[in-house]
Amino acid sequence: MTFLFARAPSIRIAPIPTAARSISHSVSVSKALPFYLNNLRSTEQNDGKVLRMLMFGKPGAGKGTLSARLVKKYDILSLSTGDLLRQHIAERTEVGRQAEEIVAQGNLLPDDVMLKVVASKLESLNNRHWILDGFPRTLGQGKLLDAHLQNQNAPLSLVVNLDVADNVILSRISDRWVHLPSGRVYNMSYNRPKVDGFDDETGEPLTRRPDDNPEIFSRRLKKFYDSTSPLLAYYASSVNKSARLVTLQGETSDEIWPQLDAAVRRSFPSIRERASSIAQRRYSLSDPFTMEQEKRAIKRAAASDGPNPSNFLN
């Protein structure tokens, strides 16, 4: 299946799907998340290094929460496959219809479906600082990701393993509320919304995830141990020389964040912090605000000597 990750000659996502489109640009995938990053200029590279990071950990370990804190502070984009799948489900795309029952039952989607979901998004992250949350989740996905990144000459730089005890996670999950359109995560004891039941940014209602109940959660945890945890040995092995593997442990609310911040700063000492005016927003690839920002950046680039956005923005 490696061919699915082979770099396409053109990676623009046209608004009107054509029959000739490759699998990674299928109708259902592009419908769920229109995307505008492809022709952006490269991120200013810090010390010649680009942050390409995996946020790895059990369900409920805090991957989404900590990714959001990093992208709020630094000029980084995040991509959560769980958020992407929930968007597909909400939009009733082909992938979403297939994913609905699997996600609700706490099982993993097949690797080839996940590739359809993430391939075009990964192309778009080229030369940006990025974090992947929830991908790869099997050894097969890990090898395919490596092949793809090798093809782009853009190897992983950091793998962060959030090591949180099972009993701690179980109590968190029962307190979790999410804003589905953006993926923003709240917790009634750790980070409450300003108004109970409503998203801080949009004021829209928060919901519970259907897979956040004790029975399904224990299946998700088992899947993690069976299918996902072998990836840790893979990233610790010499096969993956480029990526530093860092394990962070913590139980209470803010124990892990300073460790994570320090790990990122150590690897990327000059990584840029966001301007305070936009630091209030979560920079996720599933957040409509992000895409608006990126569209504006493309237009600014076009106004100087950048690429012509009309090729791919309509």
- Which of 11/180 has CB closer to ligand AP5? 180
Q: How far apart are CA 48 and CA 229, in angstroms?
A: 31
- Which of 209/312 has CB closer to ligand AP5? 209
Residue 159, beta-bridge partner list: 54, 245
Q: How far apart are CA 53 and CA 62, in angstroms?
A: 15
Residue 62 found at the interface with Mg ion (CB under 5 A): no
Residue 232 found at the interface with ligand AP5 (CB under 6 A): no
Residue 106 found at the interface with Mg ion (CB under 5 A): no
CB burial string 152-180: b at 16+ within 10 A, e below: eebebbbbbbbebeeeebeebbeebbbbb
Residue 11 found at the interface with ligand AP5 (CB under 6 A): no
Q: How far apart are CA 90 and CA 84, in angstroms?
A: 10
Q: Show the beta-strand stretches assigned E in 164-281.
A: 176-179, 184-187, 244-249
Instruction: Check the annotation: does 65 bind a ligand.
Output: yes
- Which of 64/142 has CB closer to Mg ion? 64
Residue 64 found at the interface with Mg ion (CB under 5 A): yes
Contact 184, 178 (CB under 8 A): yes
Residue 54 found at the interface with ligand AP5 (CB under 6 A): no
- Look up residue 65 and give its two tokens: 């929460």
| Residue with nearest beta carbon to ligand AP5 | 82
Contact 175, 181 (CB under 8 A): no
Instruction: Check the annotation: does 63 bind a ligand.
Output: yes
> Binding site for AMP: what residues are annotated?
81, 86, 107-109, 134-137, 141, 209, 220
Annotated binding residues for GTP: 60-65, 176, 185-186, 253
Binding site: residue ranges?
60-65, 81, 86, 107-109, 134-137, 141, 176, 185-186, 209, 220, 253
Residues engaged in binding ligand AP5 (CB under 6 A): 57, 59-65, 80-82, 85, 102-103, 106-109, 114, 134-135, 137, 141, 172, 175-176, 185, 187, 190-191, 211, 220, 253, 256
